[in-house]
Each structure stands twice: as C-alpha cells, then as structure tokens.
Structure 1
Amino acid sequence: MSTELDAVDRALLDALQEDARLSYNELARRVHVSPPTVAQRVRRLENAGVITGYRATVDPTAVGRPVVALVRMKCYGPRCITVHPELLDDCPEVVEVQRLTGDICSVVKVVTTTISELERLLVRLGGYGETSSAMVLSTPIPWRPVPTG
C-alpha cells in the first residue's frame, strides 16, 4: 500500500523507530505539531500499513537462548515453509523467516538453548526441504531504522 509521506510523517517515523515508547506529547514536541495531530497521523500510518507494529528487542542470550543460527532452505511445493508458514506455528525457536529469490527459497532465523536443540530443529526443518545452516557468532550491525528520506 502506497502512502504519500510528508516531512511530519517522516519525522514521526524516524522518532518512533528510535524509540517506539515515546508519548504523543513527546512526539509532538519533537516534530513541532500538536498531540492530537500526532495521534491522528500515527493512526493513519498504522491503518495504511506503514507502521506495522511495536515490539521490544530482546537479547536471546539474556533469556537463555544463546545459540542463534541462520538456516538457508530449499523447499518448494506443498511443504514449503514460505507458502505454508503455519507449518512452523508450533516452533517458537523460529523467530523470523525471509522469503528470497534465487536458488534458495528462504532464510530462517532460529534461537535455541543448546547445540543439541539446534540439531533437533535442523532435523525438523529438513523435513520441509534441504537445509544449510550457519551459527551467528556476533552481530556487528544490529537492527537499524528504515531510512524514511
């Protein structure tokens, strides 16, 4: 869905990406409009699908899931996890799936408590297609805001 964004919308998006917990009053102060205007614009951006959600970013190690891996998948047809993501609904270790072009169909980001749990998960994912995995050693560039300008 395409939405025309003006400078105020872009400033709101930049501020919310920096800290989604900002109050409408603080957002209004930062972008130099009234709190009711902020509320109306944020609702419009949400309804248009520009803002797709709000969430906390959690360190997997801090919650007991220090093993992070990226799994490349080749799975086509009725058991493809990109066509039928519900196949992984009961798999909380899978925290993200990206559908791709090229010779693999997806990259699956997983977080597990141990290497043996990762191994069990790879066996399960192997039931949906060919897998190739890589453990994440570090993340030198963490999540970044989407440029709005």
Structure 2
Amino acid sequence: MPKDTKYLDETGCKILSILDRDGRISISELASRIGLSAPSTAERVRKLEQDDIITGFTVEISPKALGYILEAIVRVKPSPGNLHVVEQLILNEPRFTSCDKVTGEDCFVTRIYLRDVSELDDLLDPLHEKAMTNTSVVKASPIRNRMVPLG
C-alpha cells in the first residue's frame, strides 16, 4: 500500500474491524483471526498507525456507572461577537464531553452528561449571557461511534 493512499486491502480492513470491536486484543490473537504471523500482524498494525489510519486506542467508560443518568445534546448559537468567548466557556466546562463547530444556524453542537436534571441550569446559565441554547435529552443511541466504511 503506497504511503500517500488511504485505501485498504482486505487484511487491513479485517484488522481495523477487529480492533474497532476490541482494541485490547493481543497481537497473537489478532494474528490468528486474520491468518498472519504475529510479527507480520504487528508490522501491519504499525503501518496503519504510521499512515495515520489508526490514530489511537481508547477506553470506553460508562457514564451511568459513574452516576451520570442523563445525556443531552445542546446546540449553541453565540450572540454576535461572542463566538470565541462561548467556545472558551464550553472548553472550560468538563461536563461538555464533545463539541463540534458546525455550519448552519447554530455554531456548536455539544454533548453533556448530568447526574440530575437540576444540574442543567447550573451548567448552561454561564452560556445564556453570551448565547442561545437548545437542549435535547438523549433517549437512546442506536448508533454510537460507528466505524467509517472501509475500502
């Protein structure tokens, strides 16, 4: 696979698919599942990292196990001249677990976790001086962190 291309062969796709489901799998187990030797598999994984196809390995934490029973999506529309101030407020608040700058009417789409709905005002009040917000409580997530299509 040339370094300047991100196209994957069948083995590379298998490696990514397996690692997406279990990032802690051992190289020897991964090798047995894809039908290569452990050294060849390790080299393939290293190459995927070197080509920035694999950019890291993460742990998935259950917010509910930590007492965060509510998840919400908050769309944020800063008032004129307050874009950077609002962005900094979001960055400085750890209960915002993700934030995307987007096109359209809103400038930010964020996710938050709360232990109780009463935390919502405390969390959003600092933003209301500089922005309008629209909050939706997440009922379910049929798709969460799906891997992009390969090939």
TM tier relative to shorter chain: 0.7 to 0.9
Equivalent in 12, 16, 28 of residue 13 of structure 1? 16
Q: Name 1:34's counterpart in structure 2.
A: 37
Q: Which runs of 4+ in 1 moved over 6 A?
A: none
Q: Which whole-Å deviations, capped at 9, do the CAs of 1:79-128 have from their partners, x for residues lacking one?
A: 252xxxx5444422111112222221221000121212222111133355
CA–CA distance in structure 2, aligned partners of residues 28 and 128 of structure 1? 53
Q: Name 1:125's counterpart in structure 2.
A: 127
Q: How do 1:46-85 residues align onto structure 2 when only pairs under 5 Å count?
A: 46-75=49-78, 77-81=83-87
CA–CA distance in structure 2, aligned partners of residues 46 and 80 of structure 1? 35
**How far did residue 4 of structure 1 move?**
3.0
Unmatched 5+ stretches in structure 2: none
Q: Name 2:98's counterpart in structure 1.
A: 96
CA–CA distance in structure 1, aligned partners of residues 113 and 16 of structure 2? 29
Q: Mean alpha-carbon deviation: is it higher for 20-29 or for 53-62? A: 53-62
Distance 1:89 1:3, change over 3 A: same
1:22 maps to a residue whose letter is I
CA–CA distance in structure 1, aligned partners of residues 36 and 130 of structure 2? 51
Unmatched 5+ stretches in structure 1: none
Q: TM-score with structure 1 length normalisation?
A: 0.83
Q: Does 1:140 align with 2:142?
A: yes
CA–CA distance in structure 2, aligned partners of residues 92 and 21 of structure 1? 27
Q: Which whole-Å deviations, capped at 9, do the CAs of 1:3-26 have from their partners, x for residues lacking one?
A: 232211111001101111111111
Larger radius of gyration: 2
Q: Name 2:112's counterpart in structure 1.
A: 110
Q: Mean alpha-carbon deviation: is it higher for 66-75 or for 50-59? A: 50-59
Overall identity of the aligned pairs, in %: 34
1:79 maps to a residue whose letter is V
CA–CA distance in structure 1, aligned partners of residues 130 and 41 of structure 2? 45
Count of residues in correspondence between the two structures: 145
1:34 maps to a residue whose letter is S
**C-alpha root-mean-square deviation of aligned residues, in Å?**
2.2
